[in-house]
Amino acid sequence: MKIKVLLLTLSSSFLVASALNAASSERKGDDKSQILHETKKQMDEQVSQLIADRVDFKKTIEFQKIMKLEEQTLEAKENLLYPADELYGANWDNKWVNPFTGKEKVNLPDSFVVNCISFVFPIDSMKKVTSKYGPRRRRMHEGIDLKLQVGDTVRAAFDGKVRIRKFERRGYGYYLVIRHPNGLETVYGHLSRFLVNENDIVRAGDAIALGGNTGRSTGPHLHFETRFLGQAINPAEIIDFERCEPIKPQYVFRNIKIKGRKSNIYTSSDQNIVFHRVRSGDNLSVIAKKYGTTVSQLCRLNGITTKTIIRPGQSLRLIPSGSYKK
């Protein structure tokens, strides 16, 4: 290709030179050799300039490529060293699952796009979901439980940095929390063995631990949480646990506005919130069904559990599904 261009330029220069030569010879026949010589000289200069330009141009391109590559790796490195620092700032706590516990107020953005493309399912063979996210007995189950066998490999769901490696006898057992450059944090509980240390950088799919049955657990399983700025989000809103892949390549969290103010409640829905005034005979599942939503979302939006008694006249926040019509 390069040679072709060069040849084409050379041959056109030669044609121009011949034409010049022919024209000149009509006027001054005796100056013919002089003109020829001059033309050749000019042509040589043009060609060497052309080659020099091409080399320079090539050098510039190569240089730009290298610079870009270096910038990228530097950026990627920074993203891993300080994952999602645009959201978490200097907050790096090795103690609490919610890093804002007992600390500064969280500044929740209006909305945030989470890139899920690089997701890797945290266990190699998906057997079944043994417990879903949502209110369970008197407390909230803030993750999803995936059946496994003790010793099964547990993998990092995304690239990130290990924020917590701890043991909690009455809760998570041996557990890890990883912060990811995409803004999420993931929690892995009831592990039997750690394969990473606090502050380690991991890549999506890296083996980080072995599954187990430690802590408050009734059988070997992985307790898996997805959190955003400390708030637990239903992992099933982000990941399809049947297909073991993200529901969408990008996941958008929106901070619900109530009466024009940020509520610090997140949803993946882009629909607006509505209020339902409780009538006698209503219960959570009837209301949820009416608006095409789920009881767990209804509970989350209102900070209640399935056991909460609702009273006529009370207002509940709801995000109706697309099919709902007033």
List interacting residues with Zn ion (CB under 5 A).
143, 145, 223
Task: State in angstroms the smallest separation of the CB of 280 from Zn ion.
Answer: 36
Task: State in angstroms the smallest separation of the CB of 130 from Zn ion.
Answer: 8
The residue whose Cβ lies closest to Zn ion is 223
Q: Which is nearer to Zn ion, 234 or 269 (CB)?
A: 234
Q: Which is nearer to Zn ion, 165 or 223 (CB)?
A: 223
Task: State in angstroms the smallest separation of the CB of 289 from Zn ion.
Answer: 26
CA angle 100, 94, 265 (to 5 degrees): 25
Task: State in angstroms the smallest separation of the CB of 223 from Zn ion.
Answer: 3
Q: Which is nearer to Zn ion, 159 or 225 (CB)?
A: 225
Q: For the chain, what is the HEC assignment?
A: CHHHHHHHHHHHHHHHHHHHHHHHHHHCHHHHHHHHHHHHHHHHHHHHHHHHHHHHHHHHHHHHHHHHHHHHHHHHHHHHHCCCHHHHCCCCCCCCCCCCCCCCCCCCCCEEEEECCCCCCCECCCCCEEECCEEECCEEECCEEEECCCCCEEECCCCEEEEEEEEECCCCEEEEEEECCCCEEEEEEEECEECCCCCCEECCCCEEEECECCCCCCCCEEEEEEEECCEEECHHHCEECCCCEECCCEEEEEEEEECCEEEEEEECCCCCCEEEECCCCCCHHHHHHHCCCCHHHHHHHHCCCCCCCCCCCCEEEECCCCCCCC
CA dist 245 and 18 (Å) reads 68
User: What are the structure tokens assigned to 178, written together?
Assistant: 């990883």
Q: Which is nearer to Zn ion, 179 or 223 (CB)?
A: 223
Task: State in angstroms the smallest separation of the CB of 241 from Zn ion.
Answer: 13
Task: State in angstroms the smallest separation of the CB of 305 from Zn ion.
Answer: 16
> Which residue type is seen at 45?
E
Contact in structure between 114 and 129 (CB atoms under 8 Å): no
Q: Which is nearer to Zn ion, 161 or 223 (CB)?
A: 223
Task: State in angstroms the smallest separation of the CB of 195 from Zn ion.
Answer: 21
Q: Which is nearer to Zn ion, 147 or 155 (CB)?
A: 147
Q: Which is nearer to Zn ion, 143 or 181 (CB)?
A: 143
CA dist 85 and 312 (Å) reads 45
Q: Which is nearer to Zn ion, 145 or 185 (CB)?
A: 145
Task: State in angstroms the smallest separation of the CB of 129 from Zn ion.
Answer: 10
Contact in structure between 111 and 253 (CB atoms under 8 Å): yes
Task: State in angstroms the smallest separation of the CB of 270 from Zn ion.
Answer: 29
